[in-house]
Chain A
Amino acid sequence: EVQLVESGGGVVQPGGSLRLSCAGSGFTFADYGMHWLRQAPGKGLEWVSLISGDGGTTYYAHSVRGRFTISRDNSKNSLYLQMHSLRTEDSALYYCAIDIRGIELWGQGTLVTVSS
């Protein structure tokens, strides 16, 4: 069974940093691109970033470019999102997801709250 489990969320002050992780299992991790997405409380879905299966190609939403970095360690079946210079508007439930037929399978998310 395919599983994605996010971790690393928490409360951080504006301007702070946080690193999210996503552990994948039940599939050949290195074969698939992986996404990060987020959803602010009561709001819609927002795509954040995409990384190719070999980690060589990355894409970012304009809202996070230059502040967030996506990476992966295929030897550990893990995906990461390093977030710097966090803003209150970055507060959201962050999901990782597998790219199969587009964004296909989602984890359950990890909550990030940016507040002083």
Chain B
Amino acid sequence: QSVLTQPPSASGTPGQRVTISCSGSSSNIGSKTVNWYQQLPGTAPTLLIYSNTQRPSGVPDRFSGSKSGTSASLAISGLQSEDEADYYCAAWDDSLNGVVFGGGTKLTVL
């Protein structure tokens, strides 16, 4: 059981907007920044969003992150078939003194 809680699956049709939630607590999301990772099938994860809302260079602006209290969200607008992947949220946890991940959300583009 993961410290951060994500829905196991999400789906949408091309062009739609989907959001993926990530719920934590005061010792992680509530006091630390959140990163989001994309893992395409058979590949290593890549950084998608850092510091709650920031995109590394090369990440399309269709991807956006937000945080409120002890929860964070990843939004993907203008959904494309190549967005089909697993998405993970992560944050440092002050109680555990380590990085904690969500269980991952498998995004299906219908």
A residues sitting closer than 8 Å to B (CB atoms) are: 35, 44-47, 50, 59-62, 95, 101-109
Contact = CB atoms under 8 A, between A and B. Distances in A.
B50 A50 contact: no
A46 B47 contact: no
Contacts of A60: 98
Contacts of B104: 44-45
A106 B44 contact: yes
Nearest to A104: B47
21 contacts: A35-B99, A44-B86, A44-B88, A44-B101, A47-B90, A47-B98, A47-B99, A50-B99, A59-B98, A60-B98, A62-B98, A101-B35, A101-B50, A101-B54, A102-B33, A102-B47, A102-B51, A102-B92, A102-B99, A103-B90, A106-B45
Nearest to B99: A47
Contact of A45 (B47, B50, B96, B101): B101
A106 B45 CA distance: 7
A102 B44 contact: no
Interface residues of B, number: 26
A15 to B, nearest CB: 25
Main secondary structure of the interface of B (DSSP, over half): strand
A95 B44 contact: yes
B63 interface: no
Interface of B: 2, 33, 35, 37, 39, 44-47, 50-51, 54, 56, 86, 88, 90, 92, 96-104
Q: Which of B98, B99, B100 is packed against the most chain A CB atoms within 10 Å? A: B99
A95 B45 CA distance: 10
Contacts of B56: 101, 104
Contacts of B47: 101-105
Nearest to B50: A101
